[in-house]
Structure 1
Amino acid sequence: MKRRDFVGLTGLATGALFLPSFPSLGGTLVHPERLLETVDPAVKKRLADSALNAAKSAGASYADVRIGRYLNQSIFTREKQVQNIASGESFGAGVRVIANGTWGFAATNTVTEAGLAKAAQMAVAIAKANAKVQKEQVKLAPQKGYGEVSWKTPIVQSAFEVPIAQKVDLLLSANGKALENGASFVNSALFQVNEQKYFASTDGSYIDQDVHRIWPTFSVTAVDRASGKFRTREALSSPMGLGYEYMVPKAQDKIAGPAGSGLTGYKNSYDILEDAALAAKQAKEKLTAKSVTPGKYDLVLDPNHLGLTIHESVGHATELDRVLGYEANYAGTSFATLDWKKQNKPYGSKLVNIVADKTQPGSLGAVGYDDEGVKTKQWDIIKEGQLVDYQKIRDQAAMVGQNESDGCCYAQSWQDVQFQRMANISLLPGKQKMSVDDMIKNVDKGIYIAGRGSFSIDQQRYNSQFGGTVFYAIEKGKIAGMIEDVAYQTNTTEFWNSCAAICDESDYRMFGSFFDGKGQPSQVSAVSHGSSTTRFNGVNVINTARKI
């Protein structure tokens, strides 16, 4: 079948041909035109009131309801072929209550007044049953009601409005650029998400939100047929809280990498054709790159790489439920306990200022209100190297002597209960003007790392090892060629205390994760991490190809 015929006939997904490296987003398969439909907020308010009234009548002291329509479209290609196109929809409602001082939750896909009232009654029954074994009553931080309000991701064009053929053409063109420049294999994908969420509570809030996210990505592989050796280079894109405008490159959004690397960074738009062509060249170059000599190096870390380190060593380490041990059975604990914080030990050097921010434009985690109706904000996590706060929601604030939620509660769908999730956690840029080349001038022996690679970190978010996508040796203040087999080993406080320089805001960019997992049953969330290029002195580097 010709590609255009395939695209034209693909109203529903054609078989389970998902690439194993890309997770599916779930939902019931629907015709793409269904993704453009909306639900009248007045209808959602009437439905929500039926749940709230039923909950109160059944004995709830507090109740909230989330009516959610979760849409996704995923496009997968390989070389000159379309592998799969899937459009999904999930629609239903979840009701959460407090009765007898205890939480209860129930969900339904029968989105009628009777259906939501029945779910509310079930949630109250569950709460009352739970109360028999609950040791302490739930203490909610106070929250005013906002009345009827709305918020929408400030996009230019919804990715769902763009014809599938146009999006497929762009992915296949990127594949073509990679093949033209020496790639042996290439696959690419485009993920698009729209969360239409309506929240109502007995506090008096009726909040309608329309949230959009997009993620283009690819993987390019070059093979040396003679030796059988191969190397891969992943896309340097970042998932973003934007519309299809992210796929239309703009000159002002490009940031040149260090002289001699050929790399380009991207802010609020992304040139997938340029990145795919460079990826093929770099994958071939990796085949003959010199293997790194282990030792101590000054590391210059690109934002697309550093974002993952921030995510693992700061983002997860400062989630209050993890700190208090509530995630110990599945996702681990944290070294940054309340007792550790009281000791005033430095988390990092004086240059390290890290904020949590659910309002950051273009970020994956940006919303107007979280999933328990709290208006979002920015707050300090680490200030001048000192840990000053955690990430917490309404029923956690009192546990640390506070009376306000941080607005970082989230559920991946209407059928999942909302709980504390990571906000956008970002390293603030340096205050002094400094480019990447300026930073490298001061490095005698170092390595520049761009993109993400394999990593590991212990359950306390302390001892860790991080790889990357591409590596360049730095010798006497200049890029001295590509190297391979690089990973750095460190612990969280040692690493952040070695922070010696941060580029200014002109270099600031975001990395993101579409599928950050947590909880039992497990849920995913999307979160971004911003930073400028940053230098860390004297970090231990190992050679991942050497046998121990």
Structure 2
Amino acid sequence: MKRKDFIQLSAMGLGALVLPNLPAFGTPVDPSRFLNDGIDVKLKKQLADVALNTARSKGATYADVRIGRYLNQFVVTREARVQNIANAESFGVGIRVIANGCWGFAATNTVTKEAIAKAAERAVAVAKANSRVTTTPVQLAPQKGYGEVSWKTPIVQSAFTIPVKDKVDLLLNVNSIAMKGGANFVNSAILAINEQKYFASTDGSYIDQDIHRLFPTFTVTKIDRASGKFETRKSLSSPVGMGYEYLTPTADNKVGGIVTRYKDRYDMLEDVKNATADVDQKLKAKSVEPGKYDLVLDPSHLWLTIHESVAHPTELDRVLGYEANYAGTSFLTLDKWKSRNFQFGSKLVNVVADKLQPGSLGAVGYDDEGVQCGQWDLIKDGVLVNYQAIRDQAHIIGLDHSQGCCYAQSWADVQFQRMPNVSLQPGKEKLSVDDMIKNVEKGIYIIGDGSFSIDQQRYNFQFGGQTFYEIKDGKIAGMLKDVAYQANTQEFWNSCTAIADKSDYRLGGAFNDGKGQPGQSNAVSHGSSTTRFNGVNVINTARKI
């Protein structure tokens, strides 16, 4: 969880990456505890007022408090057995203040008035200590108080109301389909998260939010016994800001193309059947010839390229060098934004940041410093027009308001600027996947995310995928393997020549985008329609250089 860059959780890596570190997510509990409502909102307000009043009495000019209850459930299987079932709850209070022009923060997992008052005193003491070595005072963008408000992820059914046995049965069924199809190994998992967050500030906001996220996933592996080689295919699911209804597919939820793809519902059983067949094809596929190709990129693949090459470099703290010691910097320096004519991509490229899109991982009503969330342009007609900024950064780029993208992974962590949903907007012309392919003489159609590498400035990169299809003279000519493409960010996005319309638009995303010191994890989605890029350099990953 504390890698410099985003790590995509897969079922294969889940046991190693997450479960041994479970205490970081909370205390193990019985799953029936997840159905408890938690403390009453009136009591939360009383506790919050203790923190705010104490902080002000000790000299804070601003204070906010977050009372958080975080629920996590991971169900992990492999072949015909259950590998792990983890249920955890974390509950506590984080208090952030400004005193003598500096930030201070303290947290406690003892949720009583006395403990909260002591934590508020500690936060003020930290701020005053910081002020001895700080020369520039914090400058907050103004923010009106909203009074008492609430927001909830619009779910149909909470994943925590589904018995663990039902989840296990689904996953073992997934594994059985793969094994009957000839898979040598298969693992699958369902991850469910619920953040119950209460925010209050001296600006006059008391905000109660109930946020749900779900991620079903699997990986299928087949081995060619004759050669000793193997191939894998991951699920084409997306982690979502939805309830368990995501796993209830509907007949009108599919998008055409080489494989069955899903918009806002997911058929895990159908996907694993397709994945098992895909792995057979991958074992028999011919190895790609390096060279220049036109790429047709499915949203299940393109989301990761957007994440790494667009979303990260437009984080203002990264641009300013605040993340240089850990997560890197950005080639999108302020001079490029100030010029108002830096051509990030072709005129077709319009990228929007948002915290509102239904079903997305980043969708919330208010961010973690009490700012009502919204949408804004990052790239307009190919030109860099904005960044991602929070209250203490807004003045740096001439804004009189925060863009509402502040987040902390738990009550115990201080909030800071985190990536909102960042998405490539659909094209205006009605285009199907077949339409995108029919004019390509020499190309590759890529589905699913895979390996990636990108430099510290988010400029030079390489991306792989899950499945690759050769395009010859406007038609699919068969499957390829050993494919990765290389480019620099500006060159790549300026090679964008076609984007399918909104009927093809879909979300991908990451449950755990890593950033900060100490490291924190953020869930974020990226949407797009199928998109074409011309003349991109493709390498063969199996050949020695």
TM-score band, normalised by shorter chain? over 0.9
Q: What is the distance in 2 between the residues matched to 1:485 and 1:111?
A: 54
Partner secondary structure for residue 20 of structure 1: helix
How far has the Cα of 1:18 moved from its partner?
Answer: 5.8
Q: What is the distance in 1 between the residues matched to 2:43 and 2:54?
A: 17
Q: Does 1:335 align with 2:331?
A: yes
Q: Structure 2 matches for 1:336-375, cutoff 5 A?
A: 336-343=332-339, 344-375=341-372
Q: Deviations over 1:440-484 (max 9, x none)?
A: 011111000010111000000000000000000001111110000
Q: Is the 8 A contact 2:327 2:456 kept in 1?
A: yes
* Alignment match, 2:160: 160
How far has the Cα of 1:341 moved from its partner?
Answer: 2.1
Identity among equivalent positions (%) equals 70
Pick the aligned partner of 1:19 from 6, 15, 19. Answer: 15
Q: Structure 2 matches for 1:410-449, cutoff 5 A?
A: 410-449=407-446
Q: What is the distance in 1 between the residues matched to 2:506 and 2:265?
A: 11
Tell which deviates more after alignment, 112-121 or 191-200: 112-121
Q: What is the distance in 2 between the residues matched to 1:537 and 1:420?
A: 34
Q: What is the distance in 1 between the residues matched to 2:252 and 2:512?
A: 29
Q: Is the 8 A contact 2:482 2:542 kept in 1?
A: yes
Q: What is the distance in 2 between the residues matched to 1:394 and 1:35?
A: 34
Q: Does 1:488 align with 2:471?
A: no
Partner secondary structure for residue 128 of structure 2: helix
Q: Is the 8 A contact 1:302 1:449 kept in 2?
A: yes
Q: Structure 2 matches for 1:174-253, cutoff 5 A?
A: 174-253=174-253
* Alignment match, 1:34: 33
Q: Is the 8 A contact 2:336 2:384 kept in 1?
A: no
How far has the Cα of 1:20 moved from its partner?
Answer: 2.6
- 2:122 partner amino acid: M
Partner secondary structure for residue 306 of structure 2: helix
Q: Is the 8 A contact 1:370 1:410 kept in 2?
A: yes
Q: Does 1:323 align with 2:313?
A: no
Over 3 Å counting, the alpha-carbon distance change for 1:521 and 1:333 in structure 2 is same
* Alignment match, 1:498: 495
* Alignment match, 1:396: 393
Q: What is the distance in 1 between the residues matched to 2:192 and 2:251?
A: 24
User: TM (normalized to structure 1)?
Assistant: 0.95
* Alignment match, 2:541: 544
Q: What is the distance in 1 between the residues matched to 2:467 and 2:17?
A: 19
Q: Does 1:304 align with 2:300?
A: yes
How far has the Cα of 1:407 moved from its partner?
Answer: 0.2
Q: Is the 8 A contact 2:356 2:365 kept in 1?
A: yes
Over 3 Å counting, the alpha-carbon distance change for 1:97 and 1:465 in structure 2 is same
How far has the Cα of 1:264 moved from its partner?
Answer: 1.4
Pick the aligned partner of 2:515 from 513, 518, 526. Answer: 518
* Alignment match, 1:59: 59
Q: Deviations over 1:356-402 (max 9, x none)?
A: 01001000000000000000001000000000000000000011121
Q: Is the 8 A contact 1:18 1:84 kept in 2?
A: no
How far has the Cα of 1:345 moved from its partner?
Answer: 2.1
Partner secondary structure for residue 314 of structure 2: coil
Q: What is the distance in 2 between the residues matched to 1:531 and 1:501?
A: 12
Q: Does 1:288 align with 2:272?
A: no
Partner secondary structure for residue 316 of structure 1: helix
- 1:449 partner amino acid: I
Q: Is the 8 A contact 1:18 1:83 kept in 2?
A: no
Partner secondary structure for residue 129 of structure 2: helix
* Alignment match, 2:109: 109
How far has the Cα of 1:293 moved from its partner?
Answer: 0.3
Aligned residues: 528
Q: Is the 8 A contact 1:300 1:535 kept in 2?
A: yes
Q: What is the distance in 2 between the residues matched to 1:21 and 1:479?
A: 38
Q: What is the distance in 1 between the residues matched to 2:140 and 2:35?
A: 37
* Alignment match, 1:14: none
Q: Deviations over 1:224-258 (max 9, x none)?
A: 1122111011111000000000011112221122x
Partner secondary structure for residue 136 of structure 1: coil
Q: Is the 8 A contact 2:502 2:529 kept in 1?
A: yes
Q: What is the distance in 2 between the residues matched to 1:506 and 1:256?
A: 11
* Alignment match, 2:404: 407
Tell which deviates more after alignment, 347-356 or 227-236: 227-236
How far has the Cα of 1:22 moved from its partner?
Answer: 5.8
Q: What is the distance in 2 between the residues matched to 1:226 and 1:91?
A: 53
* Alignment match, 2:524: 527
Q: What is the distance in 1 between the residues matched to 2:264 and 2:207?
A: 27
Q: Deviations over 1:420-456 (max 9, x none)?
A: 0000000000001010101101111100001011100
- 1:317 partner amino acid: P
How far has the Cα of 1:21 moved from its partner?
Answer: 6.0
Q: What is the distance in 2 between the residues matched to 1:380 and 1:297?
A: 30
Q: Is the 8 A contact 2:511 2:522 kept in 1?
A: yes
Q: What is the distance in 1 between the residues matched to 2:227 and 2:306?
A: 38
**Where does structure 1 lack aligned partners over 5 or more consecutive residues?**
1-16
* Alignment match, 1:3: none
Q: Is the 8 A contact 2:294 2:534 kept in 1?
A: yes
Over 3 Å counting, the alpha-carbon distance change for 1:22 and 1:178 in structure 2 is farther
- 1:229 partner amino acid: K
Q: What is the distance in 2 between the residues matched to 1:526 and 1:254?
A: 25
Point out which structure has higher relative CO (alpha carbons under 8 A, 6+ apart).
2
* Alignment match, 2:310: 314
Q: What is the distance in 2 between the residues matched to 1:435 and 1:336?
A: 33
Q: Is the 8 A contact 1:512 1:527 kept in 2?
A: yes
After TM superposition, what 4+ stretches of structure 1 lie above 6 angstroms from structure 2?
none
User: TM (normalized to structure 2)?
Assistant: 0.96
Q: Deviations over 1:21-80 (max 9, x none)?
A: 666662110000111112210010010000000000000000000000000000000011
- 1:191 partner amino acid: L
Q: What is the distance in 2 between the residues matched to 1:177 and 1:242?
A: 26
